[in-house]
A and B are shown apart, each in its own frame.
Chain A
């Protein structure tokens, strides 16, 4: 079971770039890395998914080093509305028994 470790909380200011790192030392060969965002009393929202190197979409980038034992979610120029909990998940496609949400990282963006 691939276990993930994230910081419990982070603070930032509007306009800054935020990087949230997730450790997953026992990631398996078939595991993908997925990040979700959750606002209070709402369901999590998919942000980005990757396997190796770098993935970028319209809202975030995901950096994965060659050993894949960690990954970094990068949020460019955050705003107050990015205040949320961010979850890192690691799991293999077609093997959902391995995919679990951890405690997440509570990001607070200040003006």
Chain B
């Protein structure tokens, strides 16, 4: 158990819809990272927050947004969903930047 909690575990929706993925980091971790992993693909870094502020941005689409709240949990919002958005979405947390990241079990998003 990494201590990182992601909900929901599975999400099935249709094209054009909007979903919100939630992540609770390990106790004491200030950094939260979001990754996308499509079938048989590597992990694509989307975005990182540190103590409520955006710290780094990767290959995140404009249709996607995220935020980190004062209690340090984070949400990833995906809108105008397309079939290609079907993937595993992982959240990770670390104490600070580039300290070892601890990953949750992911949310599997399926777009029908």
Contact = CB atoms under 8 A, between A and B. Distances in A.
Interface stretch (B61-69, B72-80, B102-110): B102-110
B13 interface: no
B97 interface: yes
A13 interface: no
Chain A, interface residues (CB within 8 Å), range: 20 to 34
B48 A96 contact: yes
Interface in B42-99: 42-45, 48, 55-56, 58, 88, 90, 92, 96-99
B43 A46 contact: no
Interface in A94-111: 94-97, 99-104
A60 interface: no
A91 B98 contact: yes
Given A44-B43, A104-B42, A93 B56 contact: no
Interface string B1-25: 0101000000000000000000000
Contacts of A36: 101
A96 B42 contact: no
B2 A41 contact: no
A81 interface: no
Interface of A: 32, 34, 36, 38, 41-46, 49, 87, 91-97, 99-104
